[in-house]
Amino acid sequence: MPRPDQQPRVLAVEKTDELEIRSLILLAILLAAGFILNFTVGKAISSISGGMISPEFIISAFCITILIVKPRVRQAFIIGLISAAVIQITTTSPFIDFAAEGIAAVLMALMVRIGNKLPYKRALPFISTVITTTISGLIFMVIKIAMIGAASQLVAAMTPVIILTAVFNAVLVQSLHKPIVDALKIG
């Protein structure tokens, strides 16, 4: 709840360590949409592309949320963990996503903070999502290699998927960011 000397900001995170209810609602809506899209569109795209593109709409959802909410690092980490918990329902590799999405969400929040001060602000959704998705995928891959071995085979198989998925997610986030901001009437 805002202090009397502060003006409340729409979907902005306060200076506490708690996420505002509206921010959590936005995250929940976007994660639900991402979850449904993973089961439908994601599976179709993966099938059509022969597995070369495996969109992870949950990552897109938390990237958009972080772009809009602009959380602190600790709050971004929580957003990443919540996102990873949702991914657990569909993953074939349990628990890896907690590390991958937690770190990726923190990275996204840091890029949003830095990026809003740079001249390429309009491309920030694309650039930060490419980097975030790539880092998430690389963390996932490294942990998977540590668990099962077969490094050369996994690197060869997963690297193109990670890169193509990162580009796909970035195009999606870049195209959805402004319409969502406009729909929510965020300054």
Encode pLDDT of 91-113 as tens digits.
888 999 999 999 999 999 999 99
**What's the pLDDT tens digit per position in 62-79?**
999 999 999 999 999 999
Mean pLDDT for 35-55 is 86
Taking the C-alpha atoms of 24, 29, 32 and 35 in order, what is their torsion angle to the nearest 10 degrees?
Answer: -90
Whole-number Cα distances in Å, 26 to 20, 62, 94, 181: 10, 10, 25, 11
Residue 31 pLDDT level (bands cut at 50, 70, 90)? very high
Structural domains for the chain:
21-184 (1.10.1760)
* Threshold 0.95, pTM exceeds: no
